[in-house]
Every structure is written in structure tokens, then in C-alpha cells.
Structure 1
């Protein structure tokens, strides 16, 4: 296992949720992606028409420093009153992390407006062998403030002013997948866990060959170039509702997620 046995630090929501989260759903539900030959990658094509949200279920394998760490699942479901809920779960199944029984669960309820995906509420639960931490966030658009309660640092409990278009980490990843086009630069404002900051993503001009779970893809590379203290890269394919691969680099090393299946 790479790194010291301090899993709570390594799997806090700002780290892994920002990496995923994420995440997808801007494309229609799809069957398993048809592999392309690794030696004949398709040329760049015009950006596809933006599709409506559609429910999906996705499963990832997670690696830390090249060694198996666990699994992650991401689900998008339609709920009442024209709202959606995106659920993320990350469970450590290997090494010292599994001995600590690490389990992270996060859900965000949101709707769609002219400004984009609008977060309404958020719930996060982090479990380890001797601890359980829970935090709840409420985005009050009638007062244009967001606030978190529960196991939240004191300096992050104050209300955060909201602006149209503000999103949390999971929804930024949804928007990133929706907006990714060859050569594009994407700007979003992150409001999550009592913090607000600007984030910027840059999309590659051409598709790159990627092999994930023995399948070869022609994927757009999306780099997060501003926002947060780590480097995150996504590879996205239009017909797949989540990134096929995510790599994040931080002080603890590399964290990688590879898509195993989706429906």
C-alpha cells in the first residue's frame, strides 16, 4: 500500500469527489462502448449535440500509487418534482485502507435551470473503523446562500453567498462532461463544504488513444488547470455517460479510477 496508514486524509470528499465526481450524466444512457482498435484511433469530430440527462449506473476500480485500493460507484436517478439525485460511494477493499473499513458516501439533489445544474441539498457520510462523520449542505436559492452543518470545520460553517451557475464538485463534473468540446476552455464556480472558488478546465484539441479494462477508446483529455490543490485529468468519450479514466495527483501520490462497467 502506498503511503502511510492515514486513509481519512487520503479519501476526504474534496479529493475524490472533485476527481469524480465524478462526473457524468449529460449523455444519454448507453450500452457498453464499442471498442476501437488501439492502432486506429478515430480523428477528431465536431462536438456532439448536448443531450438531456438520463439515469445511469457506473462502477469504477480505484488505484492508489498503482496498487488496488477499492471500488467506486456512481448513480444518477430521477426523483420527484423534476429533480435529480447523483449518488457516489467509494469503498476501500484492499490493503490498510480496507482494514480501516473506509467507506465514503455522498448524494446531491439538484434541478436544471437556464443557468445549468443547480444544487439543492447535499449529504456526505465518511465511515472508518472507529469513526463516523456526517455533513449536510443546503443551497437556499430564495436567499442565495449555501450552508453546511454537522462535522464541518468551524471556519466553514458560515453561510456562503451564491451566484447563478454555482455548483458543487459532483455537478461541476456533470457540467464538464456536458460542455467538453475539442480545444474548449471551461470555467465554473465551485461552492462546496463552506468554500467558494473558481475552477478552470482545458480540453485537448484532438482525441487521444486510451485503453481501459482492455477496451481501446478515442477520448478527449480534460485537465483541471485551476481550482484546488491537486492536478486532475479526465478522459471522456461522448457515448459513455461517465469519464472512462480519471487520474489525480496530490501530496499522497497518484489516485486513478478506471471505468469497469455502466448501464
Structure 2
């Protein structure tokens, strides 16, 4: 989407994919991304994972620059509070706020009640999507599926997840590439494994996972074969616990 030009020649740093498997334990982080839309640099994004006592919260905020403020996908706030149960990420509370103009906000909030195995959403959504959803072990929100892909991705892996978010239930299938590829973001090239959703129809989602990096190196959403929202990692750091 974008071409980043530097006025000075710089050495290329390559972050390699080691043979040792990634650790499954969660580690707090704060990551900053450049956000691109249809090939143009359009804003910034921040992804954050932090502990909340014995629970965790993951957040994603995307903010479009002037000229892109009316695009829902570039003005988005999402968060999921979750815990870890039987090695899985179990959502407890979720919210999504989309902004398309100064006076146009759409907010949806959901509660995952694992005692009664039911989830409910309130806010700016249709009556049908306010209907209770019966929960199954392993159900996750969109943000938790991103974390699960980070945890599970290995060469040639076929990954299956059940998406339960915003009153919707879908099966998500991902396929990892056979080997890592070089993904350049700014002045750094990562050896990253491409993981692509295979059952999204005209809506594609591709996540690049680099060993030793706790957050996706790149997240690309494509619509009808064209790049839409593209997040590329700028920097990340561990968050204080």
C-alpha cells in the first residue's frame, strides 16, 4: 500500500524465525502501527495487552487522519476483557465503538456469561443480533482470535476458531504458509509466517506472525481482492505489569 522513503541509507535489520517454538504464555505489550487504506497512508493504530488482576484485557484503537475520518474501519475502538481457562482465551466482556463522523458513533457492548453459557450484546445493533447466543468452550471475540493465531501459528498449520462477537457466530478457518517470508516494515524486515483466513469469501484477513514478537507484524484486510485496511507494525514494547 505504501512506499516509505528514507533520505538516508540505512542498514537493513532482519528479525529471523528461530527453530525454537514460541512461548504460549501471555506477555504484556503496547504496539504502534501505521494504518493504510486502499494503498494510502491513512492513520495510526495502537494494540495493547495488559493484565487486570487475574484477568487480561486486549485493546485495539485505529484513528484515521484528516480526510479519512468518515471511514468506519479507520475510526475504531475495540477491547475484550478475558481470562485463561484450560489453556484457552475466554472472553468475559467486549465492546466496539465505530465512528464515521463527529456526531455519528456506534457502540456495542457484550457480556459472556460462562456460568450460564450464554452471551448477550446491547447497543447500536439490530434486534436479531441482540438475541442471546449459546456459548461453547473455545468461543472467542475477534481480538482474542488474533491472539490465538499468534499463539498457534506454525508452518502448514490449519487453524479453526469459533467467532462469537457482536451477536454473530461464525466459524473461522486459517491456513499458515509452509515457511516464513520476509516482511519489511519501515527499516526492519521480519521473517514472518503468513496466516490467511480461508473461509471469508470476498473478505480476506491475513496476519503475519514473527517469532519473538508478541504482536502481529502486519494485519491486512482485503475486500473483493483489493487491499482495504492494512496495519503495519512500527514499534512495540513490554507494558508494565
TM-score normalised to structure 1 length: 0.79
Moved more, 157-166 or 102-111: 102-111
Note if 1:35 corresponds to 2:16. Answer: no
Among 83, 89, 92, the alignment partner of 2:61 is: 89
Note if 1:197 corresponds to 2:175. Answer: no
Matched residue of 1:163: which SS?
coil
Mapped partners of 1:49, 1:180: distance in 2: 9
Structure 1 residue 100: Cα displacement = 7.6
Mapped partners of 1:129, 1:251: distance in 2: 29
Contact kept in structure 1, 2:18 and 2:211, CA below 8 Å:
no
Mapped partners of 2:135, 2:200: distance in 1: 17
Contact kept in structure 2, 1:47 and 1:182, CA below 8 Å:
no
Describe the shift of the 1:163–1:228 C-alpha distance in structure 2 as closer, same or farther (beyond 3 A): farther
The C-alpha deviation readout for 1:46-65, integer Å capped at 9, x for no partner, is 45143311110001111111
Describe the shift of the 1:100–1:142 C-alpha distance in structure 2 as closer, same or farther (beyond 3 A): closer
Matched residue of 2:14: which SS?
coil
CA RMSD, aligned part only? 2.1
Contact kept in structure 1, 2:22 and 2:151, CA below 8 Å:
no
Aligned residues: 223
Mapped partners of 2:86, 2:71: distance in 1: 44
Name the structure 1 match of 2:44: 71
Name the structure 2 match of 1:118: 90
Name the structure 1 match of 2:207: 234
Mapped partners of 1:222, 1:103: distance in 2: 25
Contact kept in structure 2, 1:210 and 1:217, CA below 8 Å:
yes
What is the correspondence of 1:12-23 to structure 2 with a 5 Å cutoff? Answer: none
What is the correspondence of 1:1-263 to structure 2 with a 5 Å cutoff? Answer: 35-36=13-14, 46=19, 48-80=21-53, 82-95=54-67, 97-98=68-69, 103-114=75-86, 116-127=88-99, 128-227=101-200, 229-251=202-224, 253-254=226-227, 255-263=229-237
Contact kept in structure 2, 1:90 and 1:105, CA below 8 Å:
yes
Q: Which has more strand, going by share of residues?
A: 2
Task: Give 5+ residue unaligned stretches, structure 1.
Answer: 1-33
Name the structure 2 match of 1:20: none
Q: Which has more helix, going by share of residues?
A: 1
TM-score normalised to structure 2 length: 0.86
Structure 1 residue 211: Cα displacement = 1.0
Mapped partners of 2:137, 2:145: distance in 1: 13
Mapped partners of 2:141, 2:201: distance in 1: 13
Mapped partners of 1:115, 1:58: distance in 2: 24
Mapped partners of 1:179, 1:47: distance in 2: 14
Mapped partners of 1:220, 1:191: distance in 2: 26
Higher relative contact order (CA 8 A, sep 6+): 1
